[in-house]
Amino acid sequence: MASSTPRKLVWLLVFACICVCQAARGDSDRNAGSADAVADGAGIRAVAGPKWIRDYEQGLKKARVEKKDLFLVFTGHGWCANCELLDREVFQQPEFVYKAAMSFVPVELDFNYGDSAAEKNRETVERDLQKRYLAPAVPTVFLLDADGVPYGIVTGYETGFGVQKYLTLIQEARAARAVRDQKFAAARTAVGHARAELLHAGLQAVDGQLGTFKERGNDPLLTFYPTVVAEIQKLEPGDGPVRIVYENRRKERDARLAIDASLFQKLKEFDRKRDYKGAIQFLDARLKEPATPAVRWRLRTARHVHLEWDGQYAAALDDARALLAAGDRSPDERVWLLNRESYNLFNLGRIDEARSQCDKQIHDAKSPDKKARLLAWKAQMLTNRTGVSGDEAVQAWRDCRQAATPGTEQWTIATAISGRLLKREGRYGEALPLFEELLKSTTKDSFDLLDAAECNLKLGDKETARSRIREAEANLPTDPPRQVDIDAVKRDRARIAKLREQLGDQCH
């Protein structure tokens, strides 16, 4: 787990730094070919996990009645790979379900929406909650008391982190909440400076559990505890040390929000109009002005992203290389820049250079996990790429599969895409064993069953094809709760009908 603190889980889609700023609005990454596209639209099927409530107010009411806390999840099934990882590796594990049921009312807000009036209303409500709780990225989990006040936030998920470590994060947050409540309770009988000190101690107990301004886009303590902060400032004299702490936080918050309002809100206007050239000109002008290193890096990366969105791949390549040459980037920033370098090389048709750059990164990788992620990145870049043979793309995914541990999400994705690429090229005999491995090692997903059935049909084994089609149909949920599952059922039923037509079957 790459992290400087136990609270910060790194969000690592294999092509993802740019996705972070887009994820909570459900956009796909405009900067990389996605595994879902390769898989002919086959998203990773969402899993059940706890008995989720999908209405915030209903969940909050239930939490108050049952005297429990709220476990609020902002997620994006079907398009956010790390959301699916978190579901599989944590939420669906029996230990998590049991412990969550004891202490929490689980609420899931899924950023997938249909076209009905009810769905549009749900989207409006959930976007408002997203803003209220400072949730710019998915997956993000909020631990809330029965009043809806956060005392713990966990953003992101990385494969292999696991249920035990995740439960530890939850336990740490609950321990911090206990201290908060103890200090707040003691403050009720105190007055003046003593009361301010106790309230301050309560806030400090949970401060480290709520993330930073950079992660939340605002000061979480000032946002979630405004009345407590206001009371501290009222109780303390003007030069009181506790009062000064919050005055300084407020000044820093206001200054940073002013920067965001003047810079990044303006970028949103350009993006809404798809005026990427205008955004680049605006950023060029702002980069000539004085700025802190953190703001300057945000401006530079925003400019780079807009170069790519505008199709200026040569300029983006030069930009990535210039930033790398500066030599003052953090390890995570260097990884991002190296991925942008290879991405732009691929888009310029400089396949040999791009391949060599990827291979060097893979060779230099210090850990198996990093190597596996880089292999997945290379495979994505080679897939559906002009100038790259189908055989090379298949081999790239096979290399990724070989580097991953069987049964893990990385192995599952690499196996599925390898099979689907082979199937697309008519190599059914090579694809079928891969789908059969998936069916043996993971929960039998309807899409995988139908892939295997299609191969069986093409290879002349109609009875096995029929059996797998029946099994796939039996696995379809009758009343799917999420929009993404509703869409998946429609997709699978259409595939079933097409396969039955090819078999000449008219009945089930």
The answer to whether residue 76 sits within a structural domain is yes
Q: What is the pLDDT of residues 76-121, one digit of tens each?
A: 988 888 898 898 889 988 899 988 878 899 999 999 888 889 999 9
pLDDT beyond 60 at 394: yes
Closest Cα partner for 261 from 290, 280, 286? 286
Q: What is the per-residue pLDDT for 113?
A: 87
SS3 category, 71: strand
CA-to-CA distance for 213 and 224, rounded, in angstroms? Answer: 13
**Is the bond leading into 94 cis (omega within 30 degrees of zero)?**
no
* Mean pLDDT, residues 453-462: 96
Q: What is the mean pLDDT of the chain?
A: 86
- Residue 487's CB is within 10 A of a number of other CB atoms, namely 16
143: left (phi over 0), alpha (psi -120 to 50) or beta: beta
Q: What is the per-residue pLDDT for 315?
A: 97
The answer to whether residue 394 sits within a structural domain is no
Q: 381: part of which helix (H) or strand (E)?
A: helix 368-382
Which range among 12-21, 108-117, 164-173, 478-487 has the greatest average pLDDT? 164-173
The answer to whether residue 107 sits within a structural domain is yes
In the numeric block, the tokens 């940073």 are attached to 256
330: left (phi over 0), alpha (psi -120 to 50) or beta: beta
The answer to whether residue 263 sits within a structural domain is no
If one compares 317 and 261, the residue with the highest pLDDT of the two is: 317
Closest Cα partner for 90 from 76, 105, 78, 73? 73
Helices within 383-427 (DSSP H only) = 390-403, 409-424
CA-to-CA distance for 130 and 397, rounded, in angstroms? Answer: 36
Q: At a CB cut-off of 8 Å and minimum separation 6, what does 441 contact?
A: 406, 407, 412
CA-to-CA distance for 375 and 266, rounded, in angstroms? Answer: 37
SS3 for 13-60, per residue? Answer: CCCCCCHHHHHCCCCCCCCCCCHHHHCCCCCCCCCCCCCCECCHHHHH
Q: What is the pLDDT of residues 365-382, one digit of tens each?
A: 988 888 888 999 999 999
pLDDT beyond 50 at 44: no
The answer to whether residue 96 sits within a structural domain is yes
Lowest mean per-residue pLDDT among 272-281, 381-390, 400-409, 413-422 = 400-409
pLDDT beyond 50 at 26: no
Rounded to whole angstroms, what are the CA distances from 348 to 272, 286, 313?
26, 28, 6
Rounded to whole angstroms, what are the CA distances from 89 to 116, 124, 164, 341, 506?
33, 30, 10, 32, 40
Q: What is the per-residue pLDDT for 48?
A: 54
Number of domains in the chain: 1
Q: Note the maximum CA span of the chain.
A: 85
Confidence tier at 393 by pLDDT (50, 70, 90): very high
Q: What is the per-residue pLDDT for 506?
A: 54
Retrieve residue 315's tokens: 């300029």
Q: What is the pLDDT of residues 301-358, one digit of tens each?
A: 999 999 999 999 999 999 999 999 987 888 889 989 999 999 999 999 999 999 999 9
The answer to whether residue 357 sits within a structural domain is no
Q: What is the per-residue pLDDT for 268?
A: 87
Which range among 25-29, 236-240, 429-433 has the greatest average pLDDT? 429-433
* Mean pLDDT, residues 53-75: 95
Retrieve residue 322's tokens: 């210039």
CA-to-CA distance for 225 and 439, rounded, in angstroms? Answer: 49
The answer to whether residue 325 sits within a structural domain is no
Written as one letter, the residue type at 92 is: Q
* Helix axes 368-382 and 351-364, enclosed angle (nearest 10): 170
Closest Cα partner for 441 from 413, 420, 467? 413
Q: What is the per-residue pLDDT for 240?
A: 87
The answer to whether residue 281 sits within a structural domain is no
CA-to-CA distance for 80 and 82, rounded, in angstroms? Answer: 6
Q: What is the per-residue pLDDT for 49?
A: 66
Confidence tier at 17 by pLDDT (50, 70, 90): very low
DSSP secondary structure letter of residue 140: E
What's the chain's Rg over C-alpha atoms? 25
Q: What is the per-residue pLDDT for 465?
A: 96
CATH code at 152?
3.40.30.10
Q: At a CB cut-off of 8 Å and minimum separation 6, what does 227 contact?
A: none
Retrieve residue 445's tokens: 């997903």
Q: What is the per-residue pLDDT for 484?
A: 76
* Mean pLDDT, residues 144-172: 92
- Residue 59's CB is within 10 A of a number of other CB atoms, namely 24
Query: What length does the chain have?
Result: 508
If one compares 485 and 181, the residue with the highest pLDDT of the two is: 181
Domain span including residue 104: 19-214
